[in-house]
Structure 1
Amino acid sequence: MSTRTTYKPEQFTDSGWDSGTPARKTRFVNALIRFIDQGCPAEKFTKQLYDGLYNHGYFSGFIAHYDRRGFYAEHFSTPDRRREFFAELMRSCRRDAHSGRADLWCDVKTILLDHYSNGAER
C-alpha cells in the first residue's frame, strides 16, 4: 500500500459553490484516496464520496442509480468494476486536470492524477 498522503485545504481553490470549498475538497480527495487504496470497501463508501462522485457532478461518466448502494454495486462490487471505475476516474482527471476550471474541480483532479501517476497502489 502507498505511503499515506494527506492533502491540505491550501492546495485547493474555492469553486464558488458551497460544495466546493477548499475544506470540502480536502476531505473528499483524502477520503477517496483512502477508499481506493483500501480496495473500495463497502463500509467506507460514504455519502460524502457518493455526493462527490455523482451528485455534485465533478466526475462525469458515473451512473448514479437511485442511491449509494446502487452506485456501489455498479462501480465497486467486483474487481472488474473497480478497474473500470478507476479507468473512468483517471480519464475524467486527465481531461479536466489542467483546465484551470475550479468549477470542474480541476485541482482535485490534478491531485488524483498526480497521486496515482506517481506509483500509488490501488
Structure 2
Amino acid sequence: MTRDKISIAPEAGTAIGLQCPRLRRPPLDPSALTATPWDDPHAKARMGDAILSFIARGMPRSGFTKALYRRLSMMFGFIACYNQHGFWGTHFETTDARAAFLEQIV
C-alpha cells in the first residue's frame, strides 16, 4: 500500500515496515548549516543524511548503527534508553513505534 509516497510493506524480521525512498536525495548541503562547538557543518550534514537514509530505508535494524543511536539519543527530545538495543526496542521494533518516532521528530 502507498500513501503520499510513503510505502507500508512487509519487511524482513518485522510485521510491517515504513519506507520513504525520496528522503534519500538530495543530500543535505553543509553550507546551509551552522557550526557549533560540538559539530562542524559537514559532520552535521553527514549525520543528517544518515538519519534520513535510515528512515528512507524503513528504519531497518541493520541500519541502526552505534553512531546513529548516539546522535538520535541526544536529539528531538529523546531521553537516552539504557543502551542501543533499548532505544531500538522502544522506537523501532513495531510499526506503531516507528510512526510515533516520526511524529516526534517532525
Q: CA deviation at 1:5?
A: 1.7
Normalised by the length of structure 1, the TM-score is: 0.64
Kindly, what percent of the aligned residue pairs are identical? 36
Q: Which ranges of 4 or more aligned residues in structure 1 deviate by more than 3 Å?
A: none
The 5 Å alignment of 1:81-100 reads 81-90=97-106
Instruction: Give the number of equivalent residue pairs.
Output: 85
State which of 55, 59, 62 in structure 2 corresponds to 1:40: 59
Q: Which has the higher strand share?
A: 2
Considering only aligned residues, what root-mean-square deviation do their CA atoms show, in Å? 1.4
State which of 7, 11, 15 in structure 1 corresponds to 2:28: 7
Larger relative contact order (Cα-Cα within 8 Å, sequence gap ≥ 6):
1
| Structure 2 portions without partners, runs of 5+ | 1-20
Letter in 1 for 2:48: V
Larger radius of gyration between Structure 1 and Structure 2 = 2
Normalised by the length of structure 2, the TM-score is: 0.72
Partners of 2:33 and 2:52 in 1: CA distance: 16
| Structure 1 portions without partners, runs of 5+ | 91-122
Partners of 2:85 and 2:25 in 1: CA distance: 27
